[in-house]
Structure 1
Amino acid sequence: MTYGGHARAIAVLGLPLVGGHLAQFAIGLTDTVMLGWYGVEELAAVTLAGSYFFILFMLGGGLAIAIMPLVAASDAQGDDTSIRRVTRMGLWQTQLYGVLAMGLLWWSEPILLALGQKPDVASLAAEYLRVAGWGIFPALWVMVLKSYLAGLERTQIVLWITILAAVVNAMGNYALIFGNWGAPQLGIQGAGIASVVTQVVSLIAVVIYALRVLPEHALFQRFWRPDWEMFGRVFKIGLPIGLTNLSEVSMFGASAFMMGWIGTVPLAAHGIAVQLAAATFMVHLGLSNAATIRAGNAFGRQDRAHMARGAVVVTAISLAVSAVSVVIFLTCSDWLISLFLKDGEDNREEILAIGVGLLGMAALFQLVDGIQAIALGVLRGVQDTAVPMVMAALSYWVVGIPASYVFGFIFGWQGIGVWMGLVLGLGCAAVLLMARFWGRSIKQIGTDGVPAE
């Protein structure tokens, strides 16, 4: 396939995934915007709670993401039995993980206090998590089933189900946070209820689709029966992915905790800037998923040349998206931040001033964040996850977090310094992971169906 052919194939496969991630992001964005309208303290609390939940969710999410390359490789080989076995054990593992995670979500307040958060913000965040935490069970199943469908290149339905979820969440938030349409006014607790309802609706929709459109896979037939061989295979690939996710999201979570040490207003500004940066990252994440699927398909056929051309094209697309994001962040920062603040907000000018500086830093890390996401995507496609996990963890926690602390508190740069550390951590990961893929992983793949030595 030519480079142009790869670009078209990535667009057809990747655009629905990008749209799906943007719609998923809109769920968290809706919580942030509407609670920002409700009050700055609630905005700070949901920023903290969201970081805490996301850390736990993405650790378990690695088990779900592992389904994507495994299904893609099995599909390339025409092995429907392995597709069913892989997906079923992914569903098993994520629910077992959810049981473990729920305790940390329910008793989050003492953990947040031990991490140095202000008591009033920690209490509100825990109030949200005791409700929203129940959503981790349906959310992880949804993630497994979306990975299953994406691995089969059925990305359109992933998009539509996620759009449905975003609409349900927006309506639930509007009703339950503010007490509209005859519903009680529940504030931050209402946002938690809306999140759980959203995940349940998403799960019902994706299960119905899988059962009606792909009955040949019989995902839930004799679901109770263990498959320890495939359980181990999914775990072997998924655990490193989960730990890589944990390293990255906990780096951002740690940055939120550091901003909380600075104050409630800087934490609120940080929450807004993170949401805006995350919106553009959803594009890179969709491209990364497309790279995983296409690399997984090439891996199943042992076609190195096809994989190499695809990796070049998806990296180039990511760089182009980053360039556009940088321009938007540098030229429209005031307007973007204002979208999250209600008219007459007492701290509006201070949040704007801090947020504009943080968006300037976000423009810097767009390039490196996109590249490291693409590198992780292609490495997962070739089922190379253990060494990349170590590379990512070292980058995020040996380089990124210490640098954030040094720049933010020792040098006294505060929020700007915290974000400078994020740039360095992500940049280090981008270099190491790309070197891993091009220097070793792709060389292990055969060409034209002939396995490499």
Structure 2
Amino acid sequence: MRTVPVYGGRMDAGSMAAAGPPVRRDWRAEALATLRLAGPIVLTNLSQMALALTETILLGRLSTDALAAGMLAVSLHFALLAPGFGLALAAAPLQAQACGAGRLPGVAARGWVRAVRRATRAALWACAIMLLPTWALLWESAGVLRALGQDPALAALAQDYTRAAMFGMPGFCGFVVLRGFLAAMERPAAAMWVAFGAVALNLPLAWLLIFPAGLGVLGAGLAIAIANIGMLLALVVLIRRDRVFRRFRLFGRVWRVDGPRLREVFVVGLPIAGVMLLEIGVFTAAAFAMGWFGTVAVAAHAIAIQTASATFMVPMGIGQAATARVGLAIGAGDPRGAQRAGWVAVTLGAAFMATMALLLVTTAPAIARMFLDPADPQSAAVAALGATLLMIAGAFQMGDGIQVVAAGALRGLKDTRVPMLFAALGYWGIGLPFGLLVARYGGLGPQGVWIGLGVGLALVAGMMLLRWRRLSAAAAQEVSRSPAG
């Protein structure tokens, strides 16, 4: 019986008739394939987010000052992690396109396996190179924070966290590179289980170091570093023990520098790092701007940003799945499949974030109270402002989800430079200046900063979506004009 290849399996002619119209079947199959891939990635992201979220809750129980210092430290930590994180993410489209090429008839297994191995090793080297200057800045983070106008006491506390947490950065970046490999192989579950294990380890470890050991903010930084290193080591062991993954020999002669592929990682990855730095940096700048309005504002911002970041992990995971799905289709010479994969992912991300918008708007006060000790004299003020910021965050959930999924789909095409320019314009050219203006001179205070963030996200979402529409349609039309099409 005649068979027709579809992503995620094969379908015979009889099954095709039962499945309904071909276009509807293709979109349904793509949605299922995306959900199967995105599910473990999303859970991995949520697990990683849970590491920071649980520590924020624990620090909030310690004191308002500890919560505020932790927020400043985490903001600076992730802002400076962005270059390494972006280069780690650059491995995903290279790995996916190499795996997709392996589906083409006549392609030797040895060739595409070697391409996957080269991309993985080069990404690991690129991350290592980029983290060296990051460490130098984090070691002197108190001075950096003071220069940015933060309270000296909070800056000193924040430095305790950053000096400990920075040693976990190589573990985090290495984990992201290997997670991209697993996504390209469409087997992301191993990374998910490793991340779950890290959460299970981090919660009691952070509690022990913060409270019984009396290390406070320093203990939180140590706990997150240990968790990140543990995630990388666990994933390395799992990959080396798996029969299929062993054939790639990802860690053989890892000390050898592959110049051409390292350059490719930087070409693709530096704009991704730029987008990450611009996006993380704008929220970091917002956290610093909150310092102008006092400790209560910084603590309330910590509550809102941690909650909004938790919801963001889902579309971020869908976007990472879109990178793999689009990259696999492009590598296999199927631009129409890539176009379908991107639009399916955008639809899934938008639908989820619409639900989260409703949840945040209706339950903001209850969420804010979860982070605080009722006995703290400042808790009532923090909870009230935190609830207001959460409702504003609810209003820009859709824009946040659409921009990250569209960026992930574009990444699957290895289109990274123009999205970086979009992020620069939307976040820093319009969103942040507008927010600071209405906060300082419009009398809106902390709420104005968050309104500016929402405006920036909406603009970036629109630009990303339009670019995805144009590039994906152009690729599909090119196929239609070809003799084979």
Q: Which interval holds the TM-score relative to the shorter structure? A: over 0.9
Equivalent residues of 1:443, 1:452 under 8 A apart: no
- What residue number does 2:84 align with? 60
- What residue number does 1:51 align with? 75
Equivalent residues of 1:302, 1:448 under 8 A apart: no
Alignment of 1:40-439 (within 5 A): 40-78=64-102, 79-179=112-212, 184-213=213-242, 214-439=245-470
Counterpart Cα distance in 1 of 2:342 and 2:215: 47
Report how far residue 336 of structure 1 moved. 0.8
The one-letter code sitting in structure 1 at the alignment partner of 2:214 is: Q
Counterpart Cα distance in 2 of 1:127 and 1:189: 5
Counterpart Cα distance in 2 of 1:375 and 1:349: 39
Identity %: 37
Report how far residue 450 of structure 1 moved. 6.2
Deviations 1:157-185 (A, max 9, x none): 11111111111111211111011xxxx22
Equivalent residues of 1:273, 1:358 under 8 A apart: yes
Counterpart Cα distance in 1 of 2:123 and 2:442: 45
Higher Cα Rg, which structure: 2
Report how far residue 447 of structure 1 moved. 3.4
Counterpart Cα distance in 2 of 1:452 and 1:230: 32
Q: TM-score, structure 1 length as denominator?
A: 0.96
Report how far residue 444 of structure 1 moved. 3.4
Whether 2:479 is the aligned partner of 1:447: answer yes
Equivalent residues of 1:117, 1:257 under 8 A apart: yes
Q: Please, what is the CA RMSD of the aligned residues?
A: 1.6
Gaps of 5+ in 2: 1-24, 103-111
Counterpart Cα distance in 2 of 1:331 and 1:11: 27
Deviations 1:104-153 (A, max 9, x none): 11011111001000111111001111111111122211121112212221
Deviations 1:17-67 (A, max 9, x none): 111100000000011000000111000001011010001112211111011
**Moved segments of 4+, more than 4 Å:** 448-453
Secondary structure (helix, strand or coil) at the match of 2:268 reads helix
Report how far residue 307 of structure 1 moved. 1.8
- What residue number does 1:26 align with? 50
Gap change, CA 1:260 and 1:110, over 3 Å in 2: same
Gap change, CA 1:146 and 1:207, over 3 Å in 2: same
Equivalent residues of 2:357, 2:396 under 8 A apart: no
Report how far residue 343 of structure 1 moved. 2.6
Secondary structure (helix, strand or coil) at the match of 2:346 reads helix
Secondary structure (helix, strand or coil) at the match of 2:415 reads coil
Equivalent residues of 2:93, 2:327 under 8 A apart: yes
Counterpart Cα distance in 1 of 2:362 and 2:287: 25
- What residue number does 2:109 align with? none
Counterpart Cα distance in 2 of 1:286 and 1:65: 12
Secondary structure (helix, strand or coil) at the match of 1:332 reads helix
Whether 2:29 is the aligned partner of 1:5: answer yes
Gaps of 5+ in 1: none
Secondary structure (helix, strand or coil) at the match of 1:223 reads coil
Equivalent residues of 1:303, 1:449 under 8 A apart: no
Report how far residue 395 of structure 1 moved. 0.9
Report how far residue 203 of structure 1 moved. 1.3
Equivalent residues of 1:301, 1:449 under 8 A apart: no
> Which stretch shows the higher mean deviation, 135-144 or 427-436?
135-144
Counterpart Cα distance in 2 of 1:101 and 1:132: 12
Report how far residue 310 of structure 1 moved. 2.0
Secondary structure (helix, strand or coil) at the match of 1:447 reads helix
Equivalent residues of 2:372, 2:383 under 8 A apart: no
Counterpart Cα distance in 1 of 2:396 and 2:159: 31
Counterpart Cα distance in 2 of 1:64 and 1:149: 13
Counterpart Cα distance in 2 of 1:58 and 1:177: 26
Counterpart Cα distance in 2 of 1:99 and 1:429: 31
The one-letter code sitting in structure 2 at the alignment partner of 1:382 is: L
Equivalent residues of 1:162, 1:202 under 8 A apart: yes
Deviations 1:312-331 (A, max 9, x none): 22222112111211111111
Q: TM-score, structure 2 length as denominator?
A: 0.90
